[in-house]
Chain A
Amino acid sequence: MKTLIAAALVAVGVSAHAQVPPPDLTGVWAPYRGGRGADPKVAPPAASPLVLKPEYAQPFDAKRKAEADAAAKGEPIASGAVACVPYGMPRMMSVALYPIEILPTRGQITVVTEAFSEVRRIYMNVPQLAIDDVPPGYYGRSVGRWDGDTLVVDTVGIKTTVPAYQNMPHSDRMRITERIRLVAADFLHDQITIDDPVVLEKPVTYTLAYRRLPGYEMVEFVCDNNREYIDDKGGTHLRVRDR
């Protein structure tokens, strides 16, 4: 009988795989860094090496050295976040200890971040546009589909001025592929692969881990009291009050 049912399913094009409903990712998730003693099943695995093409690697390495030197002197070079500029994709997916909220609705999965209240929309089961048809922005255009228990998301159209993984430079050809899945009941992994044939020698893959925060109410983040500012040389200053 089982054989007959399996044969019938194959006949109508339904695989046993597709019978399993996708996991429910709804809710708030906090970045989970793992660390010493963490269960390797839920801790994020190591990233692959970031290998830039020589013409990009040299200035990138020089910039990183300058950043490290400045940080060692206690005068870190300001990032856009000092000026309340949001992170955009893909860095918005993990900002310090700020949670993210995943909201699946019909035909769409929306991700809202607590830091800077960033929003990205993943349109489900629709074709991706050609890169040149997506207006460059902080979030680009994301489309998703379920591959068994894994949400696969394709994102293109990120502005070249939005720093990517480890602040690497990228071209307008950058493509971000995410494989998002539950690795345990309350632990989520987002395996992110960045491919950029202009800037990278080979794609780089890293994984962000999250743990579920049941009942957490997201805190609003409207940047209406930014007293820090960046000078012409990239230094950060604080506006102090007289009284």
Chain B
Amino acid sequence: MFDTTKQVTLVGTVTAFEWTNPHAYIELDVPGENNGAVKHWSIELGSPSILQQAGWKFRDLKYGDKVTAVVNPLKSGQAGALLMRVTLPDGRVLGNGPGAAGRQ
């Protein structure tokens, strides 16, 4: 589903951070180059349990935060992705946890 051979860097504004199961999600508005149209991305993370093990807290992101996310995009070309790492407004860099959520 995700193209793990591709990395895309998204710089944008958080419109939602959903601390949910089986996956958490970052919803991100990413402005186009030269003030181009905003493209909206849905970024999948691990589950809250796994994210906690990677140092995440449920309040680490909120509406309006500016972040830089490195992601593996969907192979389908839709604006969805799997998080690799994200730089938070306070400069911390968090990964996507030590394992995939709810999978063996």
Interface, chain A (partner B; CB < 8 A)? 74-75, 79, 81-82, 84, 87, 91, 95-98, 114-116, 219-228, 235-243
Contact = CB atoms under 8 A, between A and B. Distances in A.
Nearest to A163: B104
A96 B103 contact: yes
A227 B23 contact: yes
B85 interface: no
B78 A235 contact: no
Contacts of B20: 224-225
| The 8 nearest A-B residue pairs measured at CB | A225-B20, A240-B80, A219-B49, A240-B42, A96-B99, A238-B80, A236-B1, A243-B40
B78 A240 contact: yes
A242 to B, nearest CB: 6
Contacts of B103: 79, 81-82, 96
A93 to B, nearest CB: 11
Interface of B: 1-5, 15, 18, 20-23, 25, 27, 29, 40-42, 44, 47-50, 52-53, 74-76, 78-80, 98-104
Contacts of A235: 1
Nearest to B49: A219
Nearest to B15: A243
Contacts of B42: 227, 238-241
Contacts of A84: 22, 102
Contacts of B74: 238, 240
Chain B at the A interface: mostly helix, strand, loop or mixed?
loop
Nearest to B18: A225
B1 A115 contact: no
Contact of A237 (B1, B15, B52): B1
B1 A223 contact: no
Contacts of B79: 240
B21 A81 contact: no
B1 A97 contact: no
30 contacts: A74-B2, A75-B1, A75-B75, A79-B104, A84-B102, A91-B104, A96-B101, A96-B102, A96-B103, A97-B53, A97-B99, A98-B49, A98-B50, A219-B48, A220-B21, A221-B22, A222-B21, A224-B21, A225-B23, A225-B25, A226-B21, A227-B23, A227-B25, A227-B42, A228-B22, A237-B76, A238-B74, A238-B80, A241-B42, A242-B40
Nearest to B48: A219
A74 B23 contact: no
Among A75, A227, A228, max chain B CB count under 10 A is at: A227
B102 A74 contact: no
Nearest to B79: A240
Nearest to B98: A97
Given A95-B104, A96-B104, A115-B49, 20 more contacts: A74-B3, A81-B104, A97-B50, A97-B99, A219-B49, A225-B20, A225-B22, A225-B25, A226-B21, A226-B23, A228-B1, A228-B22, A235-B1, A236-B1, A237-B76, A238-B78, A239-B42, A240-B41, A241-B27, A241-B40
